[in-house]
């Protein structure tokens, strides 16, 4: 692939990532407002908007991992494994805390945000580990 074409593809990918992050930020707000209206159709639409808001970001992450070389794929997959473990432990802990009546059930948008922050930290830490190993 020519360097100019690769540069353009990377720029398009960057702007697609920015767009997916905007959708990821706006979707929970829009979904919450739809759910607050109280009508059944509005609540159902709110659930759909809340879930579908994550799809562009997940699809773009899939594309980025597919285009990456072997080292970047390994970095992403290790970060995803670390984050999945963190998320499972987080959900188990929240479940038991709620079951034992220590806390009220949390807003799962916050749990999702914590999960994404954990993924970012795991990704950066894994990348740093592999950069230092070279």
DSSP secondary structure, 7-30, as one string = HHHHHHHHHHHHHHHHHHHHHHHH
CA–CA distance, 98 with 106 (Å, rounded to integer)? 9
pLDDT cut 70: percent of the chain above it: 99
CA–CA distance, 103 with 121 (Å, rounded to integer)? 26
Whole-model pTM: value is 0.77
Instruction: For 17-35, write each residue's pLDDT tens digit.
Output: 899 999 988 999 999 999 9
**In the predicted model, what is the mean pLDDT of residues 46-61?**
92
Model confidence at 14, pLDDT cuts 50, 70, 90, reads: confident
Q: Is 1 a residue whose pLDDT tops 80? A: no
CB 42 within 8 A of CB 35: yes
């Amino acid at each position: 692939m020519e360097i100019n074409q690769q540069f353009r593809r990377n720029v398009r990918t960057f702007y697609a990532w920015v767009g997916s992050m905007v959708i990821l930020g706006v979707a929970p707000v829009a979904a919450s407002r739809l759910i607050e209206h109280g009508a059944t159709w509005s609540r159902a639409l709110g659930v759909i908007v809340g879930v579908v808001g994550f799809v562009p970001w997940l699809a773009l992450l899939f594309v980025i991992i597919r285009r990456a070389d072997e080292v970047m794929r390994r970095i992403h997959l290790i970060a995803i494994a670390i984050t999945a473990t963190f998320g499972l432990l987080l959900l188990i802990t929240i479940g038991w805390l709620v079951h034992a009546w220590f806390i009220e059930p949390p807003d799962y948008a916050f749990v999702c945000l914590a999960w994404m922050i954990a993924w970012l930290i795991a990704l950066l830490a894994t990348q740093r580990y592999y950069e230092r190993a070279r």
